[in-house]
Structure 1
């Protein structure tokens, strides 16, 4: 699947999660956190077709279990309630009961069936939710002052430094289709899924099985291709809601413009994934790794992930040190089958390795390139057709400071 050309996509300057027809979103401070917004929600006027992809961590948090139950019960969702500050993970039966209560109270407030509501949480692991605060917060959801999409983007953040949102439009069946998205994620980010939440809304009419398959496929090329620190968390998910209010013909692989929708969804997911990588805790640079020439796409993915996950590569980029040996080392332990004599590496346009051997290059020029806020590493590993791109960030002193005092 190739990316849709920008000419066919209208990226909306002020677009957000509530831009697609029929969606609203908001956020408020209920008291989980000291001052910051900590309770957000998304609502659709009509029940929407949902799709979800979840963390692979075996300690799957209570909200994920409740959300999956909702989706599996009737394959429709109409709202999502999200809290930040406490993850409601590793909290046993009480944590599960609290997640169920959050769902029930939210559904009652929005006047929708209980199983039409999803729940998400992010924050500190191992502590129970302050349910009195959440109960009080839910009673205020309908107050106009809280009904702003930007407040939702803010309410779901933890150690993030900025909100992450996008909306695009394109045409299918002569109808304008809108896809909006919002995400959070800054630390404990690593394939496959991690401490990140991503919510995507669209007014397209999409068949449920097709939407789920599409999300799984696209997640593997976007959210599962980012890393910040190699830790995979307990809570995180990508949810898509498609409410059909654009009134297009139902989309599935048999629709002549199915690929148009796939490319639009991929554009949104990839954009959010890159924003998460760019906003890694303490990060000063976005690192992109492009691999080509692998025997298979799976091999290319393994190589790109190995490079982007290497702490030695990440620290070298932070220090603007053109230490190509760290890149070669990561390629070598990636597990992919390749001939070292056919490997080439470039830092931007600067070749540093060809045919497995060092190439003479200007160290000063390389240092200047690595001081930019976006750095691309190119790796050619043969003449196969496998290609993949991964994203991450540099590893800085600030990352250690943030995570040395996360609880305090």
Structure 2
């Protein structure tokens, strides 16, 4: 596997575009993705009981549709908490996109995603014109993919794209993706919006199972602010245009494809955290020595999700007691008397707890380590072979500013 230049259009046969259609002021807000051939597909969605209309539309497609061809995405308006009108508008978006795509695409072959302000009806006249305009310039170039990646952003400060290629039994297979997300990130089964395309040959049921296991170690292991969105969605489209052999867990090249697939999702998940609203630090927490993997992941997620831990990192304060506290209320079993904990960054490493006992450490050295933009926390709980890693960011004054006037 190797990383290549590109994003959502890196796989063969995928076209995209992004434009400003007028939902947002002076920024791109409409994106389309189209496959030139029918795709097998998979989806993962928010576990929030309050689900946006596009999520309900997409869940129905995952359940009932045999194939899909494309995705229509708008930013600036989430079409969430919009009642029956919202459901009608999500359906209308799919119909409008299918018509604009042409090529005998049907509405039930088009995924719909929206992101932005909650509780405001979609401006459908603007959206309709935007879909038509966006569809006229669909392309398979690197630039076309980047335009789409830019158009799905809301409070993001940069576009999030990734592409890889992997050789499977002599055939080059490509996986590309784009994501958006910066706030309201604390997922369980998905995170914000993430879109993956591949020219691999893989059946829907196999792809769905692979996505289900992949999100556990990627999107489920990040946190920015402890909020699970109403619109969280991950979609994967596979059009088979590489003409590689059909991929199954029994295939000789399954592990290579699976590794590349997981890499793409993990890269995008971590990129979302790096762009956390107002964030100044990227925090990686690795927990080892747990009784099993699930326990380690629960402990690691609890640490990156703690606001007190986040604020300590914002202040570059080696307040390890907050980390132990967050582990303690996680619900996972461990022995505090066996915990060893250290901080590290490019400035070095510093152990602050050993086998449950506090260590007198150099505060100046700790400050130097924690002032860096990327900081690692290594925790061992001494119970077994289980290990897990979670990613988060600090919590700053800027986060409050951004979300204090989000609607205005």
User: What TM-score does the superposition give when structure 2 sets the normalisation length?
Assistant: 0.96
CA distance in 1, matches of 2:317, 2:211: 37
Task: Give 2:90's aligned residue.
Answer: 99
Q: Contact 2:198 / 2:237 at 8 angstroms: preserved in 1?
A: yes
User: Which 5+ residue runs of structure 1 have no aligned equivalent?
Assistant: 1-8
Q: Which residue of 1 aligns with 2:81?
A: 90
Structure 1 residue 383: Cα displacement: 3.6
Q: How many residues align?
A: 399
250, 254, 262: which one aligns with 2:250: 254
Whether contact under 8 Å (1:17, 1:165) holds in the other structure is yes
Contact persistence 2:17–2:137 (CA under 8 A): no
Partner residue of 1:79 out of 63, 70, 75: 70
Q: Following TM superposition, where does structure 1 have runs of at least 4 consecutive aligned residues deviating by more than 6 angstroms?
A: none
Partner deviation per Cα, 1:17-44 (whole Å, 9 max, x = no partner): 1011001111111111111100001111
Counterpart CA distance in 2 for 1:310 and 1:118 is: 34
How far does residue 353 in structure 1 lie from its aligned partner after superposition? 0.5
What per-residue deviation string (whole Å, max 9, x for no partner) do you get for residues 204-245 of structure 1? 001211110110100010001000000111011100001101
Report the TM-score when normalising by structure 1: 0.96
Partner of 1:302: 298
Question: In the alignment, what sits opposite 1:48?
Answer: 39
Write the distance in 2 (CA, Å) between the matches of 1:25 and 1:212.
23
C-alpha displacement of 1:65: 1.3
The unaligned stretches of length 5 or more in structure 2 are: none
Q: Which of 151, 154, 160 in structure 2 is aligned with 1:164?
A: 160
Deviations 1:310-363 (A, max 9, x none): 111111111111111111111111111111111011001210101111112211
- Residue 73 of structure 1 deviates from its aligned partner by 2.5
Residue 267 of structure 2: aligned partner: 271
- Distance in 1, Cα, partners of 2:214 & 2:62: 19
Q: CA deviation at 1:143?
A: 3.1
Secondary structure of the corresponding residue to residue 376 of structure 2? strand
Q: CA RMSD for the aligned pairs? A: 1.2
Given that 2:190 and 2:234 are in contact with CA atoms closer than 8 Å, whether structure 1 keeps it comes out as no
SS of corresponding position for 2:334? coil
Secondary structure of the residue that 2:217 maps to in structure 1? coil
Q: Does 1:142 align with 2:161?
A: no
Whether 2:120 is the aligned partner of 1:127: answer yes
- Taking the TM superposition and a 5 Å limit, the aligned residue runs for 1:373-388 are 373-388=373-388
Any conservation in 2 of the 1:223–1:269 contact (CA below 8 Å)? yes
Determine if contact 1:301/1:389 at 8 Å carries over to the other structure: yes
Distance (whole Å) between structure 2 residues aligned to residue 96 and residue 325 of structure 1 = 47
| 8 Å Cα contact 1:188/1:194 also seen in 2 | no
- Is the partner of 2:279 in helix, strand or coil? coil
Deviations 1:142-198 (Å, cap 9, x if unpaired)? 333887111101110010100000000111121001100100000000031566100
